[in-house]
Structure 1
């Protein structure tokens, strides 16, 4: 049994931990109903949690809204996250987005990165998702910035925007103690390979002396397979071998025959 002088909030917490959800809810509800109660925000969050565990989803949401309405920097943010999670579990996307926006509005930096990532996940379009991911990256949270950069880079690489991919990966790598550095570096290397392919293609199209053109053809043809583009590599070799410039064709043949 809790001691007589135990704070009601602590008593409710102990009851909840002991499995007496109804008893905990009674105390939490009394505290949350009192606008003058200094622990009102925390009690409302506690009430939301025990009601959720009890299966009273509407009641839990009402309690969470009470906590959110207090504007408390910690417990209002927790309440917004509880609301968002509740709505997401029922695929109520619009309400979930609004709750995550409310979490951002509280301004607690501990919850901002999580909210941005959630808004990216629930985005209604590519532009909205990109903006949310960039905002998550900008928080410089070691875990979230890494995940946001990886997702952005994947999208940019799929769209052929290797330069954009490289930029976000470099931004993530500049974050102190950023997570998953090896993965970020591998993706940066991939972005650089794509950039190299673009530069080599441009060099081939623009033309030049025989040695430079042959070198560009060889480098491009040997780089493309690293990106799984074997057929493109074969076309590049053929382009050089079938060139109307006999000197260029001969130089490309020499470079290709080095593999024989």
Structure 2
């Protein structure tokens, strides 16, 4: 017959799993109240979870703070996350940010990526959000790095910073087994389209030879619609067609050949 673990902590856990929350809470509370108890941090986390299930939010937060104060690398980090999520549910962003910062301070690598993403979500401005997302990306976590890179890329593309968008995506794609690689590659392609448009526009403005200028105009005008910029594409065609006679003739050939 297998030996049954009769330690109070395990007894409380089994009671909680069986739905006897009151009995589980009583045992967890006794263990968490003893500073000399080796399982104090774990018991305090268990108490926090049980009390939250019972709807005792203040009690759950108090228990989580007890676990957090132990500095235990695993259970203090869990407690910080419990606190942070509790504050987020109550729409208390300042307290939530402080709890996520506490999770960062513990330094458990299993929770650091989550904390950075949460701080990005709770950021009070673009600069703060970007800093948190870059930190999340730098963790190299396959799931979190992908999410962070996607948010960074989308932000940079909106701001017209296609180069930075591409850099963020490439960093994520270098992470082994990164999540949503196909989505990242789509974002990378979009960034490259924007970069190409910038180069084509620069070539048009440089007034090169007629053939090169006409080619740049065509490439720019045909690429812009891929980014939803049909009106800009029409303006580019008009710019070429309204230019000097030689350029206009070359642009007209390129404009009409697929019509």
Report what 1:45 is aligned to.
Answer: 45
Question: 1:4 offset after TM fit, Å?
Answer: 8.7
Aligned pair 1:255/2:251, yes or no? no
**What is the CA distance between 1:40 and its match in structure 2?**
0.5
For residues 117-170 of structure 1, give each alpha carbon's deviation from its aligned partner in whole angstroms, at most 9, with x where no partner exists.
000000011100000000000000000000000000000000000011010011
Map 1:27-176 onto structure 2 (within 5 A).
Answer: 27-176=27-176
Calculate the aligned-residue CA RMSD, in Å: 1.0
CA distance in 2, matches of 1:61, 1:257: 70
Aligned length: 257
Gaps of 5+ in 2: none
Could you tell me how far apart the structure 1 residues matched to 2:21 and 2:254 are? 76
Using structure 1 for the length normalisation, give the TM-score.
0.97
Aligned to 2:26: 26
| 1:92 to 1:248, Cα distance in 2 relative to 1, 3 A | same
CA distance in 1, matches of 2:236, 2:23: 75
- 1:76 is displaced (CA, Å) by 0.3
Query: Unaligned regions of 5+ residues in structure 1, if any?
Result: none
Distance across 2 between alignment mates of 1:15 and 1:5: 13
The TM-score normalised by the length of structure 2 is 0.98
Match of 1:38, SS?
Answer: coil
Deviations 1:213-235 (A, max 9, x none): 00000000000010011111111
Q: After TM superposition, what 4+ stretches of structure 1 lie above 2 angstroms from structure 2?
A: none
Quick one: distance in 2 between partners of 1:226 and 1:5? 64
Alignment correspondent of 1:187: 187
- After superposition, the Cα gap between the structure-2 partners of 1:5 and 1:89, relative to the gap in structure 1 and judged at 3 Å, is closer
Q: Structure 2 CA distance, aligned partners of 1:4 and 1:39? A: 18
Three-state SS of the structure 1 residue aligned to 2:135 is: helix
Distance 1:56 1:211, change over 3 A: same
Q: How far off is 1:5 after superposition?
A: 6.5
Distance 1:31 1:165 in 2: 50
TM alignment of 1:184-223, pairs within 5 A: 184-223=184-223
CA distances 1:26-53 after superposition (whole Å, capped 9, x unpaired): 1000100111111000000000000111
CA deviations 1:151-202 (Å, max 9, x no partner) are: 0000000000001101001101111110111110010000000000011111
Shift of 1:57: 0.6
